Amino acid sequence: MVARSVRTLSLPLHTPRLLIRDLEPRDEDAYAALYANRQVHRHLPFGARDQAGARRQLAGILAAPKRARRDAWELGVELQVSPGLIGACDLTWHSSREAEIGYLLDPAYWGTGLGIELVRALLAAAFTELGVARVLAHVEVSNRRSIELLERAGLAWEATLRRFAQVDSRWWDVHLYSVTREQWNSDP
Ligand SMILES: CC(C)(COP(=O)(O)OP(=O)(O)OC[C@H]1O[C@@H](n2cnc3c(N)ncnc32)[C@H](O)[C@@H]1OP(=O)(O)O)[C@@H](O)C(=O)NCCC(=O)NCCS
């Protein structure tokens, strides 16, 4: 049965090790440090690339009304065992047909499987709560870690979008990855 599209999420989302929640003013320093980290933003065409830009970006997110019914969720990621931002993610509702995910973690936590936990939680939220038919992600063509993560999470390459974005005179080529509700349901 196809779930009804309601455009609400029951936050926070939980994974075995993570809590995924709305961003808060107390996250400002950690959020700014995350986005200013070159390892983090190296493969991201969009989003802040320095502390000042990240603080402005967070202020914009915090200023947006937190309605129950939304089209986009910009969320913070923290460890259940210790409060404090270690990552961020987003889920954007494009239509009842599809939603898009994005995610990043502090490099101190790479290689620990937290990325796959995060992506699996976003997929579950998109399919079971938003009721979309498919979930997609755009990933810069040389972003090996994220490509491996998406494939481990069950997303498959769908297309390469050349010159997807131009930021500061640099063109970005990205892969489009996706997973359908049926594929996700049959993932063991
Ligand atoms: C994308 C990103 C979250 C991936 O992080 P990651 O650490 O590679 O992914 P995971 O957390 O799933 O960890 C996987 C690794 O942990 C290992 N691992 C350790 N414990 C594990 C566990 N309990 N479960 C699963 N994997 C585990 C895996 O073997 C794998 O190792 P490998 O890197 O040697 O192959 C991270 O690189 C990032 O934040 N990048 C910057 C932002 C970005 O590019 N975002 C994506 C935009 S499309």
Domain positions in the chain? 13-186
Per CATH, the homologous superfamily of domain 13-186 is Gcn5-related N-acetyltransferase (GNAT) (3.40.630.30)
End-to-end alpha carbon distance in the chain: 19
Q: How high is the pLDDT of residue 106?
A: 98
CA 27 – CA 33 distance, rounded (Å):
10
> Ligand 1: distance of its center to the CA of 10 in Å?
25
Percent of the chain with pLDDT over 90: 88
Tell me the backbone φ, ψ of residue 93, rounded to 5 degrees: -90, 110
> Ligand 1: distance of its center to the CA of 5 in Å?
30
**Nearest residue (CA) to ligand 1, atom 41:** 40
User: What is the arrangement of strands in the sheet containing 18-22, beginning at the earlier edge strand?
Assistant: 13-14, 18-22, 72-79, 82-93, 98-105, 134-140, 170-180, 156-167
pLDDT digits (tens, 9 = 90+) for 139-161: 999 999 999 999 999 999 999 99
> Ligand 1: distance of its center to the CA of 105 in Å?
9
Q: Which parts of 26-105 are beta strand (E)? A: 72-79, 82-93, 98-105
Residues within 6 Å of ligand 1 by CB: 40, 43-44, 102-105, 110-116, 137, 139, 143, 145-146, 149
> Ligand 1: distance of its center to the CA of 118 in Å?
10
Q: Name which of 139, 137, 126 is nearest 181 in CA terms.
A: 126
